[in-house]
Amino acid sequence: MTDQPPPSPDNIDQPPPYHSPYGQAPGAPPPPGYGHGRQQGHGDGPPPGGPGAGPGQGYDPRWGYGPPGVPYGPGPQVSSEETTWALMSYLGTLFLSFLAPLIIYFVKRRESAFVRFHAAQSLNYLLTILIHLVVVLLVCVPPAILLDAPAFLVLLIPVYLIDGLGQWVFLILGAVKAGKGEYYRFPTFFCFRMIR
């Protein structure tokens, strides 16, 4: 229990005063030297959406509730133009293969982190599929030729089926999530992180 009187009905919705070193009054500037020379994300710097953060600054869920005026969630909303470009980075692979996500990546990478993420992921996915197929070809074809045993080529069938079906599944999943304005990361086996 504290030695302070209970709040009066006039200021019932006002927060209590902050007398501890762990908090401060809402809207007050941070203490001198707070966060200077410290790295973000190591628990000793000021939270990005914490005290002193104004409206429109990012909200980091690691720090609990953001300041008043900042919406709850991982960050700002994605515009419809960004979702369209991100969606086209997946759907364009059906018609133009590598060309569609490559063009979108180089045109939009500095304008939108959301579009850059999805275009890079689409490129990474296509490059990973290519690596899978080339490696299996290099492993199976030389023994088949040298030993004159075409049975080694049977090993190509599972890889081509998995990559062929996986290509449709992951491209559709990526397109659906991009259309909703969400980030979705493919499993690492199917999408090596080469382009960021």
Interval 5-33: pLDDT, tens: 665 555 555 555 555 455 555 566 665 65
pLDDT mean for each 10 residues of the chain (196 residues): 58 53 58 51 47 49 51 65 92 88 92 91 90 88 86 83 82 91 83 80
pLDDT given at position 165: 81
pLDDT given at position 101: 92
The pTM score is: 0.57
pLDDT given at position 77: 78
Does 49 reside within a domain? no
Does 17 reside within a domain? no
Interval 118-129: pLDDT, tens: 999 999 999 988
Does 173 reside within a domain? yes
pLDDT given at position 109: 87
Domain count, the chain: 1
pLDDT given at position 167: 79
Does 10 reside within a domain? no
Does 81 reside within a domain? no
Does 111 reside within a domain? yes
Domain of 141? 93-179
What percentage of the chain exceeds 70 in pLDDT? Answer: 61
User: For the chain, what is the HEC assignment?
Assistant: CCCCCCCCHHHCCCCCCCCCCCCCCCCCCCCCCCCCCCCCCCCCCCCCCCCCCCCCCCCCHHHCCCCCCCCCCCCCCCCHHHHHHHHHHHHCHHHHCCHHHHHHHHHHCCCCHHHHHHHHHHHHHHHHHHHHHHHHHHHHHHHHHHCCCHHHHHHHHHHHHHHHHHHHHHHHHHHHHHHCCCCCCCCCCCCCCCCC
